[in-house]
Amino acid sequence: MMSQSRVWHPFTQHALEPAIPEIVRTEGAYLHKADGTRILDAISSWWVVTHGHRHPRIVKAIETTAASLDQIIFAGFTHEPAERLARALVDLAPPGLDWVFYSDSGSTSVEVALKMALGYFRNIGAPRSRIVVMEHSYHGDTIGAMSVGARGVFNAAYEPLLFEVDTIPFPAAGREQQTLDRFEVVSRDRRAAALIVEPLVLGAGGMLMYPPWVLAELKRIAEASGTLLIADEVMTGWGRTGTMFACEQANISPDILCTSKGLTGGTIPLAATLATDAIFQAHYSLDRKKTFFHSSSYTANPIACAAALANVEIWHDEPVIERIAALAALQAAGLQRFHDNLCFTDRRITGTIAALDLGTASPGYLAEIGPKLRAFFLEQGLLMRPLGNVLYLLPPYCVTGAELDRLYDAIEEAGERFGSKP
C-alpha cells in the first residue's frame, strides 16, 4: 500500500527513507500500527502531545463542538470557544499578557509575533525593525520564522529570501556573560525591535539548555533599551520545562508570547500569540492604517478552541503539575544511569525534557548516525528522533516508569552499538 503513496512527508528524504509505517490508532503513549504492533511515542509526536494521545475529555470536546460549529470567518465575528479560551490563556500566562491573537501553527504564531513587534514601533511613530536572535534557535519553517532561526542546511536554499538579524551567542555554561554583554550592545546600538528566544530550552537546535537567571537578565536588558522580548514557548509551554510556561521560572513576563503544540493537548492544530496591552493599544486607532494586518482562513477554529479549552480544564481538574514533577524525577533518575557511561556526554535535563549527546566521530544533523539510531529504536517499537547525535526523551506525561526504563535501556544499548568513547 505504501509504495502507492503520493504523500510528500515533512523533513523526509524519500530516496533514503525505508517504508513509512502506517498508524491506524493512537492511545496514551502509543501509536498503533496497521499490523497490530505498537510504538512507544518518546517524543510526543514532535512535542505536541502533553497528557497522552487522545485524552477522552479533549476528544469529547471536539465531538460536541463539531455538532454545532465549524469554521466561521473570524474577522468581524466571534464565538464562545474563542472568547472563553482567550480569557483562560490570559489567566494562565505570565501577568501583563492581556490580548490573544489566534493562528494555526507554531510558525505562524512566530510570524504574528514579529509583525506585532514591527507594527507596534511603526504605530507609535518610532519605527524599529531589527530582530535579535539566539544562536542555534529554531522558530519554524515559514520565511520569517526561518529568518530568525539558525542558518544551516535546512534553509540554505531559501537564504536569498531570509532577512538579516543580529545573533547573540548561546549562553553556554560559564559563558553566559558573553551572551548578555553582546545583547546589551546590539539592543542599544541597533535600536532592536525585539529579541526572540526559546525560553530555557532550545529544542531543534539540540535540546540546549540555559538557566532561568539568564532569561531574567535578557528581559532586564531588553527593557532598558526599549527592545521587546518575544518568548517562543511553542515547545516549552504546557508544562514541558516543569512549569506551565518556562518564563515563570525566570519570574518574567515577555512582551509577546507564542504558544501552540500542547495548546490543544496535541490533538488538532491551533496557535496563539499573546501580547501586552501596550502592543494592542498601539494598533487601536481610528486610523485604519494602524490595523494589525494579519489573518489566516482558519483563525480561531471553534473545534480547535474547544479542544484547547478542554486541555485547560484538564490542567485545572487533574493533577497535571504533580504528574509533571513525577516525570521530571523519573527522567532525572534515568539520566543518572549514564553518570559513568563514557559513550555519552553532556547529560542535561529541564523539567520533563532529558537529553544527552552520543559520542561520535561525526556529529551534526546530517551525520549518518541520526537515521541509523532512529531505525535502531524503531525496530524495538520506540519512536525516537535523535537530532544528529543528540538523544532526547520528551514523552507525554502519561508515560510510566517502566516505559521510561525501556527507553533508557535502549539508549544504553545504542551507546554500546554506535557510540565512540573518548
* Interacting residue ranges for ligand PLP, rule: CB under 6 A: 105-107, 110, 138-140, 198, 203-204, 232, 234-235, 260
- Closest CB to ligand PLP among residues 198, 403: 198
CB of 36 to ligand PLP, least distance (A): 30
Task: Return contacts of 402-406, CB within 8 angstroms, 24+ apart.
Answer: 403/29, 403/40, 404/330, 404/331, 404/334, 405/334, 406/40, 406/380, 406/382
CA distance 102 to 107: 12
| Count of beta carbons in the 10 Å neighbourhood of residue 305 | 27
CB 253 within 8 A of CB 247: yes
CB of 146 to ligand PLP, least distance (A): 10
Name the 3-class secondary structure at 26: strand
- Closest CB to ligand PLP among residues 88, 134: 134
Q: Is 322 exposed, middle or buried (0-12, 13-18, 19+ CB in 10 A)?
A: exposed
- Closest CB to ligand PLP among residues 41, 232: 232
CB 211 within 8 A of CB 227: no
CA proximity to 274, closest of 96, 81, 78, 137: 96
- Closest CB to ligand PLP among residues 106, 415: 106
- Closest CB to ligand PLP among residues 139, 219: 139
Query: At 203, which helix (H) or strand (E)?
Result: none
CB 39 within 8 A of CB 381: yes
CB 211 within 8 A of CB 179: no
Phi then psi dihedrals of residue 383, to 5 deg: -90, 105
Name the 3-class secondary structure at 168: strand
CB of 189 to ligand PLP, least distance (A): 27
CB of 141 to ligand PLP, least distance (A): 6
Strand partners, 101: 273
- Closest CB to ligand PLP among residues 163, 329: 163
Name the 3-class secondary structure at 264: helix
Query: At 6, which helix (H) or strand (E)?
Result: none
CB of 67 to ligand PLP, least distance (A): 27
CB of 281 to ligand PLP, least distance (A): 27
CB of 112 to ligand PLP, least distance (A): 12
The CB-nearest residue to ligand PLP is 106
CB of 105 to ligand PLP, least distance (A): 4
CB of 104 to ligand PLP, least distance (A): 8
- Closest CB to ligand PLP among residues 51, 139: 139
The DSSP code for 53 is B
- Closest CB to ligand PLP among residues 200, 411: 200
CB 193 within 8 A of CB 129: yes
- Closest CB to ligand PLP among residues 148, 330: 148
CA distance 203 to 106: 13
CB 247 within 8 A of CB 231: yes
